Amino acid sequence: MTPTSDPHQAPSARVEGKAMLQTRLEDHVLTLTLDHPPVNAFNATLTRALQKALRRAAADKAVRAVVLTGNGKVFSAGQDLREMRAGVEAAISYRRHLQETYNPLILQLRALPKPVIAALNGPVAGAGLGIALACDLRVAVPQAQLTIGFNGIGLAPDSGVSLLLPALIGLGRATELTFTNRPLSAEEALGWGLINRIFPPERFAAETEALARQLAHGPLHAYGLTKRAFNHAVLPGLAAALDYEGHLQEIARPHPEHREGVQAFLEKRAPNFLRDGQ
């Protein structure tokens, strides 16, 4: 696909002269590509850029379907933990942070009256997983792995994961994955209904684009009403769940487990949650 000259081509956010969110609109499909090397981690700038892009997508009649993917071999590792460590040291409110970043983003994805496909070009974890779960469909390469991530750094799930994950795979499976923090393979995720389709790497972009174009040429108004129906039937408590997640993260933030979990991750070692009587 070749980019077209439309307003969505304008970079939404930049870091050191490079756009962190790439946008392309063609044949009524808006492709949003996370481009924050090396692992497309979310920071405040990238999150705001994605919020802005989704607002524009909602208002633009030329956009009839959205694909969210990542550049490189990783979809997203979730929250940028270097930014998180700075927040821990500065005693920044995690609840306020969620209220300004992931909570509205998750609600935007669910409220957007157009199909949204998360194209998992590689591993996804943490808040990145929450964003993928909030999309309508998920497709993946065979190498994609899904990791909950939150307990591994001493936090409870947020970004809607506390509701969306059990809704998709059941409470027992969701609890096991969260407690053990084991990566879930794309094949297993497909069997559990967590993703919809697996495409070979060499055809991943083309197959994803074909699916998105199919949806873009479908009954858009009916799609929007269907999303409203599913939100009402299955996710009526999403806003409340997001708010409660923020409350729990505010409790978790000052605990030694969280500080140890973040430090261990940055030092690329296993966390020692028994340290200092934790």
Sequence ranges of the domains in the chain: 7-202+220-277
Within 10 Å of residue 18's Cβ, how many Cβ atoms? 12
Banded pLDDT at 88 (limits 50, 70, 90): low
What mean pLDDT do residues 229-235 have? Answer: 98
CB 40 within 8 A of CB 74: yes
CA distance 208 to 274: 45
Global pTM reads: 0.92
Write down the pLDDT at residue 87.
Answer: 59
CATH number for the domain whose boundaries are 7-202+220-277: 3.90.226.10
Which of left, alpha, beta for 197 (phi over 0: left; psi -120 to 50: alpha)? Answer: beta
What mean pLDDT do residues 151-158 have? Answer: 97
pLDDT digits (tens, 9 = 90+) for 162-186: 999 999 999 999 999 999 999 999 9
- AA letter at 29: V
User: How buried is 165 (Cβ within 10 angstroms: 0-12 exposed, 13-18 middle, 19+ buried)?
Assistant: buried
Contacts of 169 by beta carbon, 8 Å cutoff, 6+ apart: 177, 192, 193, 194
Banded pLDDT at 12 (limits 50, 70, 90): very low
Contacts of 120 by beta carbon, 8 Å cutoff, 6+ apart: 69, 70, 75, 132, 138, 139, 140, 141, 144, 146, 186, 195
User: Torsion over CA of 55, 249, 135 and 15, rounded to 10 degrees?
Assistant: 50
- Residue 120: CA atoms inside 13 Å, Cβ hemisphere, count? 33
